[in-house]
Structure 1
Amino acid sequence: MCAVKARIAKTASGIGISVTAHRFMPSGPLTGRIRVPGDKSISHRSLMFGALAVGKTTIRGLLEGEDVLATGRALAQMGAKISKEADGSYSVNGVGVGTLLQPQGALDMGNSGTSTRLLMGLLASHAITAAFTGDASLSKRPMSRVIDPLSLMGAAFTPSPGGTLPLVMEGIQPGVPITYRLPVASAQVKSAILLAALNTPGTTTVIEPVPTRDHTERMLHGFGVDVQVDVIDGERHISITGPADLTPCDIEVPGDPSSAAFFAVAASIVPDSDLVIENVGLNPTRDGIFRVLKQMGASIQYLEEREVGGEPVADLRVRHAPLQGIEVDPEIAPSMIDEFPVLFVAASMATGATVTSGLEELRVKESDRLSAMASALTQAGAKINERADGLLIHGSGGKPLAGGGPVTTHLDHRIAMSMAVAGLASKAGVEVDSTEPIATSFPNFSDLLDEAAS
């Protein structure tokens, strides 16, 4: 492997033609200390709950990616006052549950599925008509899984064919309380229903056969909402009795474990790496990637374990270690569903085969992430067998991948970042067709790569 500083090299397709393809080159050891941006899931919810609380909510560590900013712009259209302070924190002066204003224009969600589905839930129990639009990638993603339960609560939807954006939603006030068992594990669907419940008289209950990330429950409790969580016959029953009032509070957003995962994998597969990733959220519904990497033999230590804003947090020390292929338990998928693309990169460098299954959800993300990663890693020299619900990855035994490209990202930020990590552990680097989607979730990704490898 070339012992050179990690860098991004632009490629040119012709004189005077602007291109966005980039090649991520082989890297020397990743060392030192870095801090990844704030958790995206918590950032979205911080803005939404702040908008529903009467008074001032202060948010520190907010992720300033395009997805979160789309949430902020939409809330501002409905009356919330959101401003960035001199110290980098954000202030949200909310309008209260039930008093959001009718937006004057369409709500542009950009590429953010989280913004779309959660805001649909938030508005479902308000007497508001809203048009939701998004970019080409978001407009292909299914919204029926949210439309179905919110329709039971009384909201009406006119989506595009196939249940996609653009769509028009007519909220209803008061809404109808429901009891809804999730047909597929989805924190977004659960959260949409709970948000609608805040302004719905009576008790609304969501039943989770498989636990999903619980930021909504934790944070609503922090805003003063009585969220009841019971385990009955192995299933979680989450209930809210509305209408509920939210009390403004101060929020410290921990580092995003999904963002930290890229650096944890990079440090694991690049020889001689010894990297500390500071302030990483380790919510047990979100830390599956680190548990699986440890099962594969990764050297990951939790330092200074603590609690911040009701969320478990630690600094992660990750050192290079030989990885072993494993069969990944499909039950762990909900706690790391967004991290599978970079896990596939780690598996491609392991000794032996890694088997993943139960991942049909990955086919309806920003892209078909199973097909996209199978194709991209194959182009980079890995041996991959694509299956209906997962990938079978034959590891290189720690040897660098050949590299190559350009691989197609399908405008999916996690494909782009995962293949960037693959480039660090390759012979010739990996070229991706565009790094622009990375701004949606991790604006300073490339700068941190350079910092860690310098």
Structure 2
Amino acid sequence: MAEVTYRPAHVKGEVRIPPSKSAAHRALLSAALCKTPCRVGPIDHSADMEATLNGVCAMGGTVKAEENGVLCIAPGTAPQSVTVDCGESGSTLRFLIPVFAALGIEATFVGHGRLPERPIGVYTDLLPQHGVTVETAGGLPFHITGKLQSGDFRVPGNISSQFITGLLFALPLLKKDSTVTLTTPLESKGYIDLTIEVLAGFGVKIEETETGWHISGGQTYRAEHYTVEGDWSQAAFFLSEAAISGGPIRLLGLSETSLQGDKACVHLWRQFGLSVTEENGVYVAENKNIDKPYRGLHGIAIDAAQIPDMVPALAVTAAFAEGETVISHAERLHLKECDRLLAMEAALKNLGADIKAVPDGLIIHGKPALTGGKAEGMNDHRVVMALAAAGCACTVTVTDAESIKKSYPGFFRDHKHLGGIADGIDLG
């Protein structure tokens, strides 16, 4: 596996944040369900995007690349039976399963990496109650036959919001009305809000209720063009770099009114002590206390229930912040591309940090400096990118560097553009 070595550097300048992977997944799938061609963009051609485009083509759609990262999605004839390769994308898998069921397409879903082991039991339990036959040994391959029937879909809210999003895409396609009822409190609500916003952009209405959502049947997806906003979860890596290196870093392409839950990164890094300001749509991150002990950063309490993807970047900043940082309600990170809690504990310990993984999160006691060293990237894009911020202050070699292609293929390029050093690999 390829390695990258980050070396100490003063990172500053301007970077355009790539389009939101979360919004793009949703927009591409919505476009595929339109009756007429729809243009979606910009799209960053990461491995996860390619997985969703595989799904678009598997349901009969065609994809044509246009200028400036825009894709034209045109409808086609849906096959009777198909195999769908979801790569390593949990979003692709969980969004597509109920959609194919609603369309009545017999499908076998396969995947790679850790995806075949990630939770899918919600659909194993739920779909047979609504007319769909499921065949699985507990993971992938996952085979469905039959056509989804409307009704009440009772879903836990604390496993993955992706199951709920998948149903919200599928149920408007059915003839009759349906409801989705939460059986446990909802986590990652921002992702559901984003789903509902994207669906509204395609003319599909979802009504929130006290216990979940009401979905009218017989709806039609309609749109001519959908613009994908910048990705707040990727912005978090540069906020961490600004906190540890000083900055200033100007972040372009982000929406102030975004419903992405990870927009909370602005508030959290401000709590650490980072200055983050916004003017005319440009966010400027600067640590004005970089010359003080602990870089002027101090530990905070973080409830990660709604923002699990930000935990790796938050953990790196916390390793340099004075006092204790407690990250809680992050149990789902045990089930991501790797066990991210154990991965961040091991990686930061190897660099000299005082960090302990607990069942639902991390406890970190910051140090003024880390010694550096080698860390396992665990084939996890967020682990590899998060450690770039640590590399602004000490030399860090990370394995599995190519894993960034999953979500942000241009990360090393953008890190270097800001003055960062990333030796040993060139992914653009």
Q: Give the 3-state SS of the residue equivalent to 2:108 in structure 1.
A: strand
1:347 to 312, 315, 318: 318
Counterpart in the other structure of 2:78: 100
On the 8 A contact 2:39/2:72 being kept in 1, the answer is yes
Q: Give the 3-state SS of the residue equivalent to 1:202 in structure 2.
A: coil
Q: TM-score, normalised by structure 1?
A: 0.85
Counterpart in the other structure of 1:253: 228
Counterpart in the other structure of 1:68: 49
Work out whether 1:116 is the aligned partner of 2:93.
yes
Q: Where does the alignment leave 5 or more consecutive residues of structure 2 unmatched?
A: 290-295, 421-428
On the 8 A contact 1:177/1:200 being kept in 2, the answer is no
On the 8 A contact 2:272/2:300 being kept in 1, the answer is yes
Counterpart in the other structure of 1:319: 286
| Aligned-partner residue type, residue 366 of structure 2 | G
Q: Give the 3-state SS of the residue equivalent to 2:318 in structure 1.
A: helix
Over 3 Å counting, the alpha-carbon distance change for 1:452 and 1:154 in structure 2 is same
On the 8 A contact 2:154/2:181 being kept in 1, the answer is yes
Q: Give the 3-state SS of the residue equivalent to 1:287 in structure 2.
A: helix
On the 8 A contact 1:223/1:248 being kept in 2, the answer is yes
Counterpart in the other structure of 2:349: 378
Post-superposition offset of 1:61: 1.4
Over 3 Å counting, the alpha-carbon distance change for 1:228 and 1:327 in structure 2 is same
Q: Give the 3-state SS of the residue equivalent to 1:219 in structure 2.
A: helix
Work out whether 1:446 is the aligned partner of 2:412.
yes
CA displacement 1:394-439 (0-9 Å, x = unmatched): 111xx3321101x22221111111122221222xx11111111100
Identity %: 30
CA displacement 1:22-81 (0-9 Å, x = unmatched): 2111112x2221102110011111111001001121112112111011110221122111
On the 8 A contact 2:150/2:177 being kept in 1, the answer is no
1:301 to 277, 282, 297: 277
On the 8 A contact 1:158/1:167 being kept in 2, the answer is yes
Rounded to whole Å, the distance in 2 between the matches of 1:107 and 1:284 is: 27
Counterpart in the other structure of 1:39: 20
Rounded to whole Å, the distance in 1 between the matches of 2:161 and 2:263 is: 15
Over 3 Å counting, the alpha-carbon distance change for 1:291 and 1:275 in structure 2 is same
Work out whether 1:27 is the aligned partner of 2:9.
yes
2:386 to 403, 418, 435: 418
Rounded to whole Å, the distance in 1 between the matches of 2:65 and 2:168 is: 28
Q: Give the 3-state SS of the residue equivalent to 1:370 in structure 2.
A: helix
Counterpart in the other structure of 1:131: 108
On the 8 A contact 1:152/1:178 being kept in 2, the answer is no
Counterpart in the other structure of 2:426: none
Over 3 Å counting, the alpha-carbon distance change for 1:367 and 1:200 in structure 2 is same
Counterpart in the other structure of 2:249: 275
On the 8 A contact 2:44/2:69 being kept in 1, the answer is no
Over 3 Å counting, the alpha-carbon distance change for 1:277 and 1:382 in structure 2 is same
Q: Give the 3-state SS of the residue equivalent to 1:136 in structure 2.
A: coil
CA displacement 1:340-379 (0-9 Å, x = unmatched): 1110001101111101111111101111111111001100
Post-superposition offset of 1:116: 0.5
Rounded to whole Å, the distance in 2 between the matches of 1:222 and 1:121 is: 20
Over 3 Å counting, the alpha-carbon distance change for 1:24 and 1:103 in structure 2 is farther
Q: Where does the alignment leave 5 or more consecutive residues of structure 1 unmatched?
A: 1-18, 305-313
Rounded to whole Å, the distance in 1 between the matches of 2:75 and 2:208 is: 26
Matches within 5 A, 1:201-280: 201-207=175-181, 209-210=185-186, 211-213=189-191, 214-230=193-209, 232=210, 237-271=212-246, 273-280=247-254
On the 8 A contact 2:42/2:68 being kept in 1, the answer is no
Rounded to whole Å, the distance in 2 between the matches of 1:421 and 1:297 is: 16
Rounded to whole Å, the distance in 2 between the matches of 1:436 and 1:442 is: 10
| Aligned-partner residue type, residue 134 of structure 2 | F
Over 3 Å counting, the alpha-carbon distance change for 1:183 and 1:39 in structure 2 is closer
| Aligned-partner residue type, residue 24 of structure 1 | Y
Post-superposition offset of 1:391: 0.8
Rounded to whole Å, the distance in 1 between the matches of 2:260 and 2:52 is: 25
Counterpart in the other structure of 1:285: 261
Rounded to whole Å, the distance in 1 between the matches of 2:16 and 2:128 is: 41
Q: Give the 3-state SS of the residue equivalent to 1:91 in structure 2.
A: strand
| Aligned-partner residue type, residue 253 of structure 2 | N
Post-superposition offset of 1:117: 0.5
Rounded to whole Å, the distance in 1 between the matches of 2:328 and 2:380 is: 21
Q: Give the 3-state SS of the residue equivalent to 2:254 in structure 1.
A: strand
Post-superposition offset of 1:315: 2.4
Per residue, is there more helix in 1 or in 2?
2
Post-superposition offset of 1:284: 5.5
Q: Give the 3-state SS of the residue equivalent to 1:324 in structure 2.
A: coil
Over 3 Å counting, the alpha-carbon distance change for 1:351 and 1:41 in structure 2 is same
Over 3 Å counting, the alpha-carbon distance change for 1:403 and 1:34 in structure 2 is same
Aligned structure 1 segments of 4 or more residues deviating by more than 6 angstroms: none
Matches within 5 A, 1:75-224: 75-95=56-76, 100-104=78-82, 106-160=83-137, 163-173=138-148, 175-184=149-158, 186-207=160-181, 209-210=185-186, 211-213=189-191, 214-224=193-203
Rounded to whole Å, the distance in 2 between the matches of 1:145 and 1:432 is: 35
Q: Give the 3-state SS of the residue equivalent to 1:111 in structure 2.
A: coil
Post-superposition offset of 1:248: 2.1
Equivalent pairs, count: 406
Cα RMSD between the aligned structures? Answer: 1.8
Work out whether 1:436 is the aligned partner of 2:402.
yes
On the 8 A contact 1:152/1:176 being kept in 2, the answer is no
Rounded to whole Å, the distance in 1 between the matches of 2:15 and 2:322 is: 28
Q: Give the 3-state SS of the residue equivalent to 2:197 in structure 1.
A: helix
Post-superposition offset of 1:181: 4.4
On the 8 A contact 1:413/1:437 being kept in 2, the answer is yes
| Aligned-partner residue type, residue 403 of structure 1 | G
